């Protein structure tokens, strides 16, 4: 069964450093998402991406964040200068289409980011 | 803005018994989808069940069923014949016109043998 994969599974970085989180969505999917979950809290939407551009973004997704689909298979989330409060689990998700066509979002296993 | 509320931070159920997890939401949209996701200790997000708002019939998936009350904006999850493997965090989620999922804070379900 096709699945969304994410690398690395755990990333430790120092405050102020740049990190890139990688995701490989399911191959025929067109919509891609990043969510994050601070430990013990709810899952929060960051950004959605379609046709090589951002569709929607939340207020969390500020100028420190960017997304890219560099090669047609990977989907990346970059945090330019990490802060302690960026420590969280980051989930990538993908779907065949948008909500009104009722397509499920498939989640990857997540990347745990620890900022020290 | 849409919101999702799960008022039960923790629930407990005896193995083989039935438990109901509550969820309410607020929206002005008429077309939307509702989901229950399970998050075991591995923290993988696993879809349990989905409900289309335009469908009056409640969704069922084996031991999992929902009670969808559109007018009341209520979407509860019933787990029948609870098993030890059902122990996890359960998140209720809303998906509207923007496509992204809006999650509740979750309910931690414990299953006692």
User: Choosing among A29, A43, A91, which should be mutated to test the B contact, i.e. which has the most B CBs within 10 A?
Assistant: A43
* pLDDT number for residue A102: 59
Chain B neighbors of A35, CB-CB under 8 A: 101
pLDDT of residue B85: 96
Can you give the pLDDT at residue B42? Answer: 85
Residues contacting residue B90 through CB under 8 Å, at least 6 positions apart: B21, B36, B37, B38, B39, B48, B77, B106, B107, B108, B109
Contact A109 B47 (CB under 8 A): no
Q: Could you read off the pLDDT of B33-84 as tens digits, one per residue?
A: 999 999 998 888 999 999 999 888 999 999 999 999 999 999 999 999 999 9
Work out the mean pLDDT of chain B and round it to a whole number. Answer: 95
Angstrom CA distances, B33 to A8, A80, B74, B112, stand at 31, 34, 12, 32
Closest CA to B92 of B55, B63, B56, B67: B67
Which residue does chain B place closest to A55, by CA atoms?
B98
Q: Which residue of B has its CA nearest to A94?
A: B100
Q: Region B76-100: what's the mean pLDDT? A: 95
Cβ pair A44:B103 closer than 8 A: yes
Model pLDDT, residue A70 = 86
What are the chain A neighbours of B98 within 8 Å (beta carbons)? 48, 56, 99
Give residues with Cβ within 8 angstroms of A86, minimum separation 6: A79, A113, A115
Q: Do A43 and B91 touch (CB under 8 A)?
A: yes
Please state the separation of Cα B76 from the chain's center in Å.
6
Give me the tens of pLDDT residue by residue for chain A, a chain 116 residues long. Answer: 789 999 999 999 999 999 999 999 998 898 999 999 999 889 999 999 998 999 999 999 999 999 999 887 899 999 999 999 999 999 999 998 754 555 789 999 999 999 99
Q: Once rounded to an integer, what is the mean pLDDT over residues B78-99?
A: 94
CB A99 to CB B102 under 8 A? Answer: no
By percentage, how much of chain B surpasses pLDDT 90?
Answer: 85
Chain centre to alpha carbon of residue B81: 17
pLDDT at site A98? 58
Angstroms from A45 CA to nearest CA on chain B = 7
């Amino acid at each position: 069964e096709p699945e969304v994969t994410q690398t690395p599974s755990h990333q430790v970085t120092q405050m102020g450093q740049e990190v890139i989180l990688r995701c490989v969505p399911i191959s025929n999917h067109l919509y891609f998402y990043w969510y994050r979950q601070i430990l013990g809290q709810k899952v929060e939407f960051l950004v959605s991406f379609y046709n090589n551009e951002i569709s929607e973004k939340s207020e969390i997704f500020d100028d420190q964040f960017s997304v890219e689909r560099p090669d047609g298979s990977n989907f990346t989330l970059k945090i330019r200068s990490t802060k302690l409060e960026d420590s969280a689990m980051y989930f990538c998700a993908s779907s065949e289409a948008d909500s009104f066509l009722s397509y499920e979002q498939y989640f990857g296993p997540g990347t745990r980011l620890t900022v020290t | 803005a849409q919101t999702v509320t799960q008022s039960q931070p923790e629930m407990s159920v005896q193995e083989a018994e039935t438990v109901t997890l509550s969820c309410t939401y607020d929206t002005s949209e008429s077309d939307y989808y509702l989901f229950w996701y399970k998050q075991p200790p591995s923290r993988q997000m696993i879809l349990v069940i989905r409900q289309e708002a335009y469908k009056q019939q409640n969704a069922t998936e084996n031991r999992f069923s929902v009670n969808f009350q559109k007018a009341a904006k209520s979407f509860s999850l019933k787990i029948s014949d609870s098993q030890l493997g059902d122990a996890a965090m359960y998140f209720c989620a809303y998906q509207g016109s923007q496509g992204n999922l809006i999650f509740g804070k979750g309910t931690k379900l414990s299953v006692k043998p």
